[in-house]
Amino acid sequence: MRHQFFFGTALAAIFACGQLALAQPSAVPTNQTSTTGMVGFTTNQTARLNVLNLNPVTTASATPTAANCTVELRIFDAQNNMVNQSVVPAFAPGTATFLDLQRATVTSQTSPRAEIRGVVVVNPAPTPVGSPFPTGFCSVMVTLEIIDDSTGSTVVLTSDTRVVGMPLVMPLARRVER
């Protein structure tokens, strides 16, 4: 009897999750934070945090696709101090934006080399930097690159990011009766 209740409850939960996944993306604004790993850069180099809005651009009509989200770009040092940030409201599908940081502006680390990471928040909460903008669904791709200031060449590039604050899903333990 307990097994029937468990399986019935599990099926109901799976069905509910499936319904949420099929919901219109624009109907539920999401707030998602992604971070890169730590990257080192040194004198005469600039870090650039890039973000691309992966939402499709509608080409069927003559009117341009409406901007559908707000993104906040942040750069943190190795002590988790925010050293630069920018808010981009009305981030249009198919477009990109970036945030630059020169090594000389990271004063928390005194050696020539500094460690930083990039963070991108989709639909951030209002802050002193960003007013409350309308939010919507937005899928983004994030890269962090280190650029040599004298040549303009990219010397390091990472597109490996992790979602911050996502709950860990653990399988339910199965009880074996003897």
Average pLDDT on 131-158 reads: 87
Q: For position 11, what pLDDT does the model report? A: 46
* Distance between CA atoms of residues 163 and 178, nearest Å: 42
On the question of pLDDT at 17 being above 60, the answer is no
- Cα–Cα distances in Å, from 136 out to 23, 26, 55? 13, 6, 11
Q: For position 109, what pLDDT does the model report? A: 87
Q: Domain spans of the chain?
A: 28-164
* Percent of residues, the chain, with pLDDT higher than 70: 66
CATH class of residue range 28-164: mainly beta
* Distance between CA atoms of residues 51 and 124, nearest Å: 15
Q: For position 152, what pLDDT does the model report? A: 96
Average pLDDT on 143-163 reads: 95
27 or 126, greater pLDDT? 126
Is pTM, for the whole model, over 0.75? no
170: which residues sit within 8 A by CB, 6+ positions away?
none
Q: For position 30, what pLDDT does the model report? A: 64
Each residue of 92-121: pLDDT tens digit? 899 999 999 999 999 988 899 999 999 999
Q: For position 32, what pLDDT does the model report? A: 87
On the question of pLDDT at 19 being above 60, the answer is no
Q: For position 128, what pLDDT does the model report? A: 56
| Residue among 88, 54, 56, 59 nearest 71 (CA) | 88
Each residue of 39-79: pLDDT tens digit? 999 999 999 999 999 988 877 665 666 677 899 999 999 99
